[in-house]
Amino acid sequence: MDLQNLDPILSPMTLDQCHDAILQNLMQGTAGHYRIGQFYNQMVERRLAVNRGYRTTREYFRRHVRVLSQATLTRYGAVANSFQLPVAEKYGMASLGALLEYLRLAQLWLRRSDAAEPGPIPIEIPRRGGLKLTKPFADCTAEDLRDAIQARRAWLGHGPLEPEEEPVQRYVQTLRRHFQDNAQCPPEIDLEVHNRRVHLRIRHLRICELARLTEALEPTLKPAVPAVEAPPAPTGLKAHLARLAASLT
């Protein structure tokens, strides 16, 4: 059987066949490394090593395929899972692996069009004095990608709220109480600190509860109005949510 020409996706393979195919492709350049990623993905997805009695796939490779580090296997697998072979041959496994790591740290999605041609994806590269240079991925060197990843890892993304942000936490608690008192299925409401900014997240909000959201947000969306004046017509987000809720009733 010619393991090198066997499609690892269309043709399920045994653990021993994947092992032999990985060793055969070690010295086959970018195409071989891409194939190793495909074989590795099949071993993980079909739990070939675990079904053989190994605790994890990593344990199997640590015992039987020591020539490849776990970081390399993970990178090859991620690239093979995200890109086609022609893209890998064009940009290289290392560069595409670095791109995926940058996108992960930046919390960006790899769109289908980007997977077909990742060259135009913008990469923020740090420079001296706190400046940043944006270059397309196709123009980035290995050093550019390394600097961009290191900058993202050092970025203060997630973290606890600062003392001056405690009023925001109290507001979230007020929102939660409002839904718990007035809604059958309260949504999940929490705060997330990302890129040094506080983000309010409302998840699993039922469409029929949009009116409740309008009521809960009213204190912040509607300024105080003197009692002698007629209240103004709803505007902005409040009006949009009210119209949407009314159309669904």
Choose the final residue of a domain: 82, 100, 120.
82
Note the pLDDT of residue 1: 37
Tokens of 236: 């902005």
Note the pLDDT of residue 94: 95
Q: 181 in the Ramachandran plot: left (φ > 0), alpha (ψ -120 to 50) or beta? A: alpha
Note the pLDDT of residue 189: 78
Residue 238 lies in a domain: yes
Which structural domain, as residue segments, surrounds residue 57?
Answer: 3-82
Note the pLDDT of residue 141: 94
Residue 15 lies in a domain: yes
Provide the whole-model pTM.
0.59
Residue 77 lies in a domain: yes
- 208, 209, 214, 220: CA torsion to nearest 10: -160
Choose the final residue of a domain: 82, 100, 127.
82
Give the chain's mean pLDDT: 79
Residue 158 lies in a domain: no
Choose the final residue of a domain: 59, 82, 105.
82
- What 3-state DSSP class applies to 186? coil
Residue 13 lies in a domain: yes
Residue 144 lies in a domain: no
Residue 235 lies in a domain: yes
Domain count, the chain: 2
Instruction: From 168, 153, 137, select the one nearest 105 (Cα to Cα).
Output: 153
Q: What is the DSSP string of 193-246?
A: EETTEEEEEEES--GGGHHHHHHHHHHHHS----TTSPPPPP-HHHHHHHHHHH
Note the pLDDT of residue 144: 94
- Residues in the chain where the model's pLDDT stays below 70: 1-10, 155-167, 181-184, 191-198, 219-249
Chain segment 21-68, per-residue pLDDT in tens? 999 999 999 999 999 999 999 999 989 999 999 988 889 999 998 898
